């Protein structure tokens, strides 16, 4: 029998199904509407947050593992504005007054600065930073103070003050090797100058941006952030300290404006010490720039070129000996003056030395003799050799801010024929101390010129990668290098130089370059370059004093600095006197 109410059931089923499908259609429509996309985007803000993780900056060590640059905990001190906003308006002045007084006492801010920060926070801010890079000692005191006052009434407590710790660069040796290391200023976290800038990417590591979800189910998405690479420098801390001490005293005693000493291993190019005076304390960033100017850059050893004067004569002589245009026993008759390129050139003290062999020319630093030697070489040969020595080009040392120096070549607009003569004794061109040391390494190292570097190695991912010594050219032959070294040794010994160190055979050359030939004063650059032991060189020392006053001569003020440095370094490097060394080698 047919149910008479079937049509009702069917109608109801149809209506319910239609309603169901309508709901489904509406859900799909809403899910795909433009508003839904906006809502989804808005809700995404609450699903988590994006955080940039910065790895801790790699440390810097000297070649014996002493820490030269590390990291230290500092604090960001901030204020929770919700606590301030919840206060009764009558309580606000007392609250702000208390915070401002505390900030003035502990955070190095003025009272008004603190009040201004609290009164004018950024729109919608719930937290403001009062001060950052607060030393741990100060922050610890402040935390104890806040905790002890927490139950006091408003205006007498520091509730709402927050402390967030993080690492910042610290230099446990203060100003030691500051010219080499460089600095990481607060608020920046990027290396500036020296190793800190040159190897910034290695030291800083790679910051990683990650999404931290609010969903605790996804809490396993954690970050394993490798720290920046640790660097080991070729610098020997004790030698650096001794060199700086000697240089500081020399600058003071001679009345010089500034001074630079570079100590390098001429066989490997490793910089063992690189001292400048004055130099800044890297932990005192507020006064970091006090000693610096365009005249006195952070590291003059690489970034300040100057006319080196007579120390440059060793390269002229090296070129002439190597080319075969002169021999050590060749003689030159000095009349105290030589006309070259139509210009009269005199000796440094306007004296006449008469007949001299090439060793005598170096010993007495006879300008006219070296002009004659350069003339024997000719323009092409002289400048070819100077370019082979790397003069006029950067050495590529692994420090930021190297200057190329200047070497005018025949054909250049500013080059004049007399330049060959003046260049022969180190005037009319400019070079940095590191260029001079690199070029001279060819003379000390059997004709092989080495790449100067300060990076001994780096430690990354648990492994140490050491820098290999690199020969970057052979401008002269080994025979020429030996001959010239012997000539320079004899010239020092016969001169009775103040650079001589008892027990050690050393080769060297002084230099005195007038800074302002047309000026009224006698300001000079006094220099000395030397190395030893001559038969097996272990060190090369370059000394440069800017505008010394007690004496303008390199032989008077720079040579003694060389001697003092060598006396300390032979002990620190364990180099016995020659007779002992040869005796021990024979055993």
Partner 1 sequence: MNEVSQFVQKYRQASWRVQLQWLVLFIAGLVVIAMVAGLRLSVSIRAVQAGREIQSFKGEILNNQRMNANLASQLAALTSTQAMEPRARALGFQPVDPAQITYVVVTGYTPQKDILLAPPRTQPAAAIILPEYTQSLFEWFIDLIQSNPPASGWQP
Interface ranges with partner 1 (CB under 8 A): 56, 59, 61-67, 70-73, 136, 165-167, 170, 172-174, 176, 216-220, 222-223, 227, 230, 232, 237-238, 241-242, 456, 459, 462-466, 501-503, 567-568, 570-571, 574, 576-577, 580, 584, 587
Tell me if 304 sits within 8 A of 407, measured CB to CB.
no
Segment holding 457, helix H or strand E: strand 455-460
Closest approach of partner 1 to the CB of residue 463, in Å: 5
What's the token pair of residue 528? 């000395």
Residue 57 or 304 with smaller CB distance to partner 1: 57
Segment holding 73, helix H or strand E: strand 67-80
Residue 242 or 320 with smaller CB distance to partner 1: 242
Residue 63 or 408 with smaller CB distance to partner 1: 63
Q: Rounded to whole angstroms, what are the CA distances from 497 to 237, 488, 547?
A: 29, 11, 21
Q: Rounded to whole angstroms, what are the CA distances from 526 to 168, 171, 308?
A: 40, 32, 8
Closest approach of partner 1 to the CB of residue 235, in Å: 11
Closest approach of partner 1 to the CB of residue 409, in Å: 41
Distance CA 167, CA 392 (A): 42
Could you tell me how far CA 118 lies from the centroid of its own chain? 39
What's the token pair of residue 123? 């729109």
Following DSSP, what letter does each residue of 519-567 receive, concatenated?
SSS--EEEEEEEEE-TTS--EEEEEEEES-SS---HHHHHHHHHHHHHH
Judged by DSSP in three states, 283 sits in: coil
Residue 81 or 572 with smaller CB distance to partner 1: 572
Residue 219 backbone phi and psi in degrees, to 5: -65, -15
- Sign for the pseudo-dihedral over CA of 368, 370, 371, 377: positive
**Cα atoms found within 13 Å of the Cα of residue 308, Cβ hemisphere only:** 37
Judged by DSSP in three states, 582 sits in: helix
Closest approach of partner 1 to the CB of residue 144, in Å: 18
Closest approach of partner 1 to the CB of residue 170, in Å: 5
Residue 75 or 315 with smaller CB distance to partner 1: 75
Distance CA 169, CA 434 (A): 28
Tell me if 323 sits within 8 A of 398, measured CB to CB.
no
Residue 64 or 144 with smaller CB distance to partner 1: 64
Closest approach of partner 1 to the CB of residue 167, in Å: 6
Residue 220 or 350 with smaller CB distance to partner 1: 220
Closest approach of partner 1 to the CB of residue 530, in Å: 16
Residue 374 or 541 with smaller CB distance to partner 1: 541
Residue 21 or 174 with smaller CB distance to partner 1: 174
Closest approach of partner 1 to the CB of residue 216, in Å: 5
Distance CA 304, CA 292 (A): 12
Residue 222 or 286 with smaller CB distance to partner 1: 222
**Please, which residues bridge with residue 231 across strands?**
60, 458
The Cβ of residue 42 has, within 10 Å, a number of other Cβ atoms equal to 9
Distance CA 306, CA 426 (A): 10
C-alpha closest to that of 12 among 24, 20, 2, 1: 20
Residue 237 or 547 with smaller CB distance to partner 1: 237
Q: Rounded to whole angstroms, what are the CA distances from 99 to 105, 136, 153?
A: 10, 19, 13
Tell me if 498 sits within 8 A of 563, measured CB to CB.
yes
Q: Identify the residue whose tokens are 């990683």.
A: 208
Residue 270 or 322 with smaller CB distance to partner 1: 270
Tell me if 205 sits within 8 A of 100, measured CB to CB.
no
Closest approach of partner 1 to the CB of residue 213, in Å: 11
β-strand 60-61 against 230-233: which pairing, if any? parallel
Judged by DSSP in three states, 168 sits in: strand
Closest approach of partner 1 to the CB of residue 513, in Å: 31
Q: Rounded to whole angstroms, what are the CA distances from 446 to 345, 441, 576?
A: 33, 9, 22
Residue 29 or 64 with smaller CB distance to partner 1: 64
Closest approach of partner 1 to the CB of residue 579, in Å: 10
Closest approach of partner 1 to the CB of residue 72, in Å: 5
Closest approach of partner 1 to the CB of residue 504, in Å: 8
């Amino acid at each position: 029998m047919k149910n008479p109410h079937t049509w009702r059931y069917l109608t109801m089923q149809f209506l319910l199904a239609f309603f169901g499908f309508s709901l489904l259609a509406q859900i799909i429509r809403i899910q795909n509407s433009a508003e839904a996309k906006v809502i989804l985007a808005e809700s995404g803000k609450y699903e988590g947050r994006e955080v940039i993780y910065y790895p801790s900056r790699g440390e810097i060590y000297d070649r014996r593992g002493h820490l030269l640059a590390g990291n230290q905990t500092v604090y960001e001190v901030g204020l929770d504005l919700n606590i301030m906003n919840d206060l009764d308006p009558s309580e606000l002045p007392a609250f702000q007054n208390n915070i401002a007084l505390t900030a003035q006492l502990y955070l190095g801010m003025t009272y008004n600065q603190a009040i201004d920060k609290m009164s004018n926070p950024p729109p919608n801010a719930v937290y403001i930073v009062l001060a950052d890079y607060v030393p741990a000692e100060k922050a610890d005191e402040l935390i104890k103070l806040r905790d002890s006052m927490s139950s006091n009434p408003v205006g007498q407590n520091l509730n709402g003050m927050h402390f967030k710790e993080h690492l910042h660069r610290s230099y446990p040796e203060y100003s030691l090797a500051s010219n080499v290391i460089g600095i990481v200023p607060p608020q920046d976290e990027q290396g500036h100058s020296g190793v800190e800038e040159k190897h910034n990417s290695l030291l800083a590591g790679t910051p990683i941006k990650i999404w931290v979800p609010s969903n605790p189910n996804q809490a396993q998405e954690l970050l394993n952030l490798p720290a920046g690479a640790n660097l080991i420098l070729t610098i020997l801390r004790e030698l650096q300290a001794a060199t700086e001490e000697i240089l500081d005293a020399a600058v003071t005693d001679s009345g010089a404006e500034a001074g630079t000493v570079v100590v390098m291993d001429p066989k490997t190019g490793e910089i063992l010490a690189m001292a400048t005076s004055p130099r800044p304390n890297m932990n005192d960033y507020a006064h970091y720039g006090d000693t610096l100017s365009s005249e006195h850059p952070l590291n003059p050893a690489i970034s300040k070129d100057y006319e080196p004067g007579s120390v440059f004569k060793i390269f002229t002589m090296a070129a002439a000996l190597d080319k075969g245009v002169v021999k050590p026993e060749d003689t030159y008759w000095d009349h105290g003056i030589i006309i070259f390129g139509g210009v009269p050139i005199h000796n440094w003290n306007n004296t006449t030395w008469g007949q001299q062999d090439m060793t005598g020319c170096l010993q007495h630093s006879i300008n006219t003799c070296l002009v004659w030697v350069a003339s024997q070489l000719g323009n092409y040969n002289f400048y070819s050799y100077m370019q082979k020595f790397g003069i006029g080009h950067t050495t590529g040392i692994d420090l930021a801010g190297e200057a190329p120096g200047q070497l005018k070549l025949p054909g250049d607009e500013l080059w004049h024929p007399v330049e060959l003569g003046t260049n022969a004794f180190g005037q009319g061109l400019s070079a940095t101390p590191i260029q001079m040391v690199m070029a001279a390494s060819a003379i000390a190292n059997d004709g092989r010129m080495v790449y100067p570097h300060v990076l001994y190695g780096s430690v990354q991912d648990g492994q140490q990668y050491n820098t290999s010594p690199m020969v970057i050219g052979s401008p002269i032959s080994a025979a020429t290098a030996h001959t010239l070294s012997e000539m320079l040794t004899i010239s020092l010994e016969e001169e009775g130089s103040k650079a001589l160190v008892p027990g050690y055979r050393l080769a060297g050359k002084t230099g005195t370059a007038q800074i302002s030939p047309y000026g009224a004063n006698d300001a000079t650059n006094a220099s000395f370059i030397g190395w030893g032991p001559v038969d097996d060189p272990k060190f090369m020392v370059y000394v440069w004093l800017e505008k010394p006053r007690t004496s303008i001569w390199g032989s008077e003020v720079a040579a003694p600095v060389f001697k003092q440095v060598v006396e300390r370094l032979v002990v620190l490097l364990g180099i016995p006197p020659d007779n002992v060394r040869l005796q021990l080698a024979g055993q």
